[in-house]
Amino acid sequence: MDGRVADHAPTDHRGDAAVPHPLVAAHDLSLVFDAADGPVHALSEVNLSIARHDFVSLIGPSGCGKTTLLRVIADLVKPTGGSILVDGGTPEQARLDRSYGYVFQAPALYPWRSVRRNVELPLEIMGLPAARRRDSARAALATVGLDGFENKFPWQLSGGMQQRVSIARALGFEPELLLMDEPFGALDEITRDGLNMHLHELWKRTRLTVIFVTHSIPEAVFLSTHIVVMSPRPGRITQVIENTLPRDRELDMRETPDFLQIAHQVREGLRAGHSYDGATGPT
């Protein structure tokens, strides 16, 4: 670990209109867990810059630290070295400002709340009046194509619909940044294709910045403007691939030579990081 832990005071660069600063900037970021059998280097010297309105996928095998990196950005864990800025401030400041929405691997809906009240949960916590909560929730549910399901309860919906509710919940308070941790990992491929298309349309329409953790190469290539290839032991970034595909995409594109070319590049990147070697990880 180097000694740069608290170098960055939460300075506000927001007045700097001339140089548009990146939304997320990590510098030599590292994170070491103390496990029973010695320290685990979950993240090691991660340098990454994410511009506004980008769609960035983090891809790599289990244990490469992609979820950990997302959790550091969300201030759900603290890094042990290096620095990270989110929207010009510390991740904690960004969390307190509610500048990101987080979508987990599982929908994590509250089963005692109806769909509408699940989407209203963050708005309640922010103290919005009931009428505005209701309007925002309705709009967010319409965005994910779930109008008319307001009064259903989570157990009445399919897995794909539940995950769409959780996306609506993250969108309801209009954050600038959407953090998604393998949101479609537990879904079947047909549902997943549909949701990928949906998410792509949503991103194009809203100009959100999305950081998207995935295991799937086609998913990463289809959705992203940039693909960050990561590798395990220690968790690090081995390559950042810029996606040259046009911004407007259709599912059919996944069979075109251009698409396959980029997918090949990602696969090569994973191979170069020895991601295919000890592929006998814990999961």
Binding site for other proteins (CB under 8 A): 74-76, 95-96, 98, 100-102, 104-106, 108, 110-114, 121-122, 124-126, 153, 155
Residue 67 beta carbon to other proteins: minimum distance, rounded to whole angstroms: 11
**Alpha carbon distance 43, 63 (integer Å):** 10
Q: Which CB atom, from 124 or from 135, has the smaller least distance to other proteins? A: 124
Q: Which CB atom, from 109 or from 217, has the smaller least distance to other proteins? A: 109
Residue 45 beta carbon to other proteins: minimum distance, rounded to whole angstroms: 26
**Alpha carbon distance 136, 142 (integer Å):** 10
Cα-Cα end-to-end distance for the chain: 28
**Alpha carbon distance 259, 276 (integer Å):** 22
Give the residue among 226, 237, 241, 227 at the shortest CA–CA distance from 273.
237
Q: Which CB atom, from 23 or from 227, has the smaller least distance to other proteins? A: 23
Q: Which CB atom, from 46 or from 123, has the smaller least distance to other proteins? A: 123
Residue 211 beta carbon to other proteins: minimum distance, rounded to whole angstroms: 13
Please provide residue 167's backbone torsions phi and psi, each rounded to the nearest 5 degrees: -70, -40
Residue 105 beta carbon to other proteins: minimum distance, rounded to whole angstroms: 8
Residue 247 beta carbon to other proteins: minimum distance, rounded to whole angstroms: 28
Residue 163 beta carbon to other proteins: minimum distance, rounded to whole angstroms: 13
Q: Which CB atom, from 115 or from 229, has the smaller least distance to other proteins? A: 115
Give the residue among 130, 125, 45 at the shortest CA–CA distance from 80.
45
**Alpha carbon distance 228, 57 (integer Å):** 6
Q: Which CB atom, from 172 or from 235, has the smaller least distance to other proteins? A: 172
Tell me how far CA of residue 129 lies from CA of 109, 117, 120, 126, 166, in angstroms: 22, 13, 11, 9, 21
What does the DSSP assignment read for 67-84?
A: HHHHHHHTTSS--SEEEE
